[in-house]
Amino acid sequence: MANTFIGDLYHPPRPQYSTGELLTYIEACVDELNQEYPLSPIVLAGDFNQLADDDVAEKTGLLQIVHQPTRGQNVLDRIFVSCPLYSTIRVVTLIVRSDHKAVVAYAVQPKFAAKTTTTKTFRPISPSQHAQFLYYISNFVFPEIGLTTPRNVQTEFRVFYDTALRLLNHSGAYHHSYI
């Protein structure tokens, strides 16, 4: 399988460099990658601001695949590709504060799991219930399974669990459920 080369670019609104020199540099990089790795896809993504799609495409041969606005009504955040790689391109609102939106590109559309609701049971723990439990447990004598009969870990655990559950149920007057 061929390597995929991914580049990131931030082109500020008022660059301190020549836009023509930037495009010439990008063109040289893409040409070098195409010569060294002719079967490898190239992806160039980022905030291109006012850099024209046609100028990038003319210099590099890359195709721009983002067609929805990413900031206001403008398509500033873009992805350029050397060959079709992505079947789905989405522009989504970020969860962090930004006036830009995020671009997400999928080679294969992911399947999202359906939301589920789970009900859990718990015991409220008040200071008096805690004190009651400590009193019961400090005076309780656990059955001595395994001392006179062959040891069975599962049986001993079941006895311990049932005993602990009885103690918890005795010290906690009621159970609550939540969703």
Assign 16 a pLDDT band (cuts: 50, 70, 90).
very high
pLDDT of residue 178: 41
As its CATH architecture, domain 5-106 has 4-Layer Sandwich (3.60)
Task: Work out the average pLDDT over 150-175.
Answer: 71
> Closest Cα to residue 102, out of 110, 92, 87, 114?
92
- Here the tokens at position 154 are 């599962």
Return the higher-pLDDT residue of 118 and 51. 51
What are the residue boundaries of the structural domains of the chain, listed by start? 5-106, 120-178
pLDDT of residue 13: 92
Which among 43-57, 131-145, 149-163 has the top mean pLDDT? 43-57
Each residue of 112-139: pLDDT tens digit? 778 888 887 776 777 887 787 777 777 7
**Burial status of residue 70 (CB atoms within 10 A of its CB: 0-12, 13-18, 19 or more):** buried
